[in-house]
Amino acid sequence: MTDTTPSSQSTKKPWLKPTITPLRSGTINKFGAMRHEQWRDNIDGVPISELLEKHGSPLFVVSERKLRENIRHLHRAFSSRYPQVLSGWSYKTNYLGAVCNVFHQEGALAEVVSEFEYLKARSLGVPGNCILFNGPHKPRRILQQAVAEGAHIHIDHLDELYLLEEVASEAGHEVGVTIRLNFDTGYTEPWSRFGFNVESGQAMDVAWRISSSPSLRLTGLHSHIGTFVLETEAYRAQVRIMTAFMLEVEARTGCEIDYIDIGGGFASLNSLQGIYLPPEQVVPSIEQYADTICTELLEATHERSAQGRNRPTLVLETGRALVDDAEVLISSVVANKRLPDGRHGVVMDAGVNLLFTAFWYNHDVTPTRQLNGKPDETALYGPLCMNIDVLRQSLMLPPLDVGDSLIFSPAGAYNNTQWMQFIEYRPNVVMVGDDQTVAVIRRAEDLQTVTALEQLPAHLQKAYPDGAPASQLDKR
Ligand SMILES: *Cc1c(COP(=O)(O)O)cnc(C)c1O
């Protein structure tokens, strides 16, 4: 007889057959919290039921307080570590006018990557000299306008350089320009399709070419090494490579670099699919990014500063990390179903048409009331008649009623720009202000707005010009 009481020192533990339990993402495991136990019924003090009643479901809700808090936090973290810092708000991350203007009011420049974004910034009241103009496609007409308005043009390729030389010489005055660099930091996949390569010598050739141009002057260096970059060391490598290039180019061509723009890429507190630790554990804090970047930059520019010259201004183009957690998507349950594999299926009124980032993230899903009942493995689907329309493949949720709503967060980055008008209309976006006022910042689409640009040729004005065909379908 075996004695298995703990007090027995002499006997071995009984042998147990080993078992393997699959850990499915979203279900309970040693890392997972029971999300449904948390619930939230308001956004910055405004009841969600009231928001949905007034503005419909689904609904995007932006927190003005959080936007301001985030950018102040970023500025504080960097300005307390380096003397000269500016940030440019990355329009493509979220270019709703109200969001951009909150950041502009907090002192951010505009970082734009197309003619449309350039004109949008201008229409919001941003002067040309507060625009950082990135991107591989800048047609002649917008380059002409950007040159005339004193924008900071970041050159992406040689054809753009040639075009800009022409535009600048037509304008008849010297134009300060920045070049985008690419290089291998050893941490992130080099985005070598953008800008000029450092290692191959191409970037130095371009700097030479600019220094010999009668119409251009090299004043800045730019690079953007990736997005959702989880290693702060990648930024140390970036700053080291860029400052080494700066010192070399200044020594060789005699130019003076006014600013070093390190792009964006800081991760937000979102869960990337395939990373199982919670974002609070894997995402560096803004202070950690700032510390690495500023320490390296101070060191690399020490000599220059000791010679009595200004250190270059550090420019940030932080997108995702500023806006992601300042916006949520609220969506309501349309239907419940039981799937053949036993899982529970829930159809929501928002899908990947609105929450485009559901392709990469496992968003936080928070009920808007206390849910009772046994949690069950649940798949959350959108309303599209498309198999790809999945908000979450699997998570544990108690039963939901038709009409119940769920909060998907963070949803502020890349959804209001990459969303699609596909099958469904895009809904209202509201902003909750500091004083709990709620403003619609983008109206919901309707049939009129969606079809406003269509035109019907004369012979296609009517579906059935000669009267509808007799229907075979409703004979019986
Ligand atoms: C997209 C982009 C950004 C913003 O990137 P995040 O990863 O959202 O911070 C900044 N600069 C450039 C050039 C970009 O293309």
DSSP string, 339-403: -TTS-EEEEES--TTT-GGGGTB--EEEESS---S--EEEEEE-SSSSTT-EEEEEEEE----TT
Q: Atom 3 (ligand 1): residue with closest C-alpha?
A: 264
Label residue 209 exposed, middle or buried (CB < 10 Å: 0-12, 13-18, 19+).
middle
Q: Does residue 147 sit in the same domain as residue 294?
A: yes
Residue with tokens 């006022």: 437
Q: Which of 295, 318, 341 is the last residue of a domain?
A: 318
Q: Does residue 232 sit in the same domain as residue 265?
A: yes
**250: in domain:** yes
Q: What is the pLDDT, as a whole number, of residue 19?
A: 57
93 ligand 1 Cβ < 6 A:
yes
**348: in domain:** yes
CATH code, domain carrying 163: 3.20.20.10
Which residues fall within 8 angstroms of residue 143, CB to CB, at 6 or more apart?
Answer: 153, 160, 163, 164, 167
- C-alpha 55 to ligand 1 mean position (Å): 31
Q: How would residue 356 be classed by pLDDT, with cut points 50, 70 and 90? A: very high
320 ligand 1 Cβ < 6 A:
yes
pTM over 0.85: yes
- C-alpha 224 to ligand 1 mean position (Å): 7
Q: What is the pLDDT, as a whole number, of residue 6?
A: 44
Comparing CA positions, the residue from 303, 296, 238 lying closest to residue 81 is 296
- C-alpha 264 to ligand 1 mean position (Å): 4
**248: in domain:** yes
Q: Does residue 193 sit in the same domain as residue 306?
A: yes
264 ligand 1 Cβ < 6 A:
yes
Q: What is the pLDDT, as a whole number, of residue 470?
A: 83
Report the distance separating Cα 180 and Cα 175, nearest Å: 16
Q: Report how many domains make up the chain.
A: 2
Q: What is the pLDDT, as a whole number, of residue 291?
A: 98
Question: In the structure encoding, which two tokens stand for residue 39, read together?
Answer: 């619930």
DSSP bridge partners of 383? none
Atom of ligand 1 nearest to the CA of 222: 13
pLDDT tens-digit map of 401-416: 999 999 999 999 999 9
In angstroms, how far is the first alpha carbon of the chain from the final one? 79
**465: in domain:** no
**Is the distance from CB of 124 to CB of 91 less than 8 angstroms?**
no
CATH code, domain carrying 394: 2.40.37.10
Give the count of beta carbons closer than 10 Å to the beta carbon of residue 172.
7
**2: in domain:** no
Q: Does residue 329 sit in the same domain as residue 313?
A: no
Pocket test for ligand 1, best of 289, 317, 327 (most atoms within 8 A of CB): 317
The average confidence (pLDDT) of the chain is 93
**Taking CA 411 as the corner, what is the angle to CA 293 and CA 55, rounded to the nearest 5 degrees?**
145
Q: Does residue 313 sit in the same domain as residue 337?
A: no
Least confident of 104-113, 121-130, 465-474: 465-474
- C-alpha 324 to ligand 1 mean position (Å): 13
Range of the domain at 421: 27-61+325-446
- C-alpha 393 to ligand 1 mean position (Å): 28
Q: Does residue 241 sit in the same domain as residue 264?
A: yes
Atom of ligand 1 nearest to the CA of 154: 13
Question: In the structure encoding, which two tokens stand for residue 323, read together?
Answer: 């806006």
Q: What is the pLDDT, as a whole number, of residue 474?
A: 82
Atom of ligand 1 nearest to the CA of 229: 7
Q: Does residue 250 sit in the same domain as residue 314?
A: yes
Atom of ligand 1 nearest to the CA of 194: 13
- C-alpha 226 to ligand 1 mean position (Å): 8
Residue with tokens 């329309």: 389
Percent of the chain with pLDDT over 70: 92
- C-alpha 319 to ligand 1 mean position (Å): 6
Atom of ligand 1 nearest to the CA of 321: 9
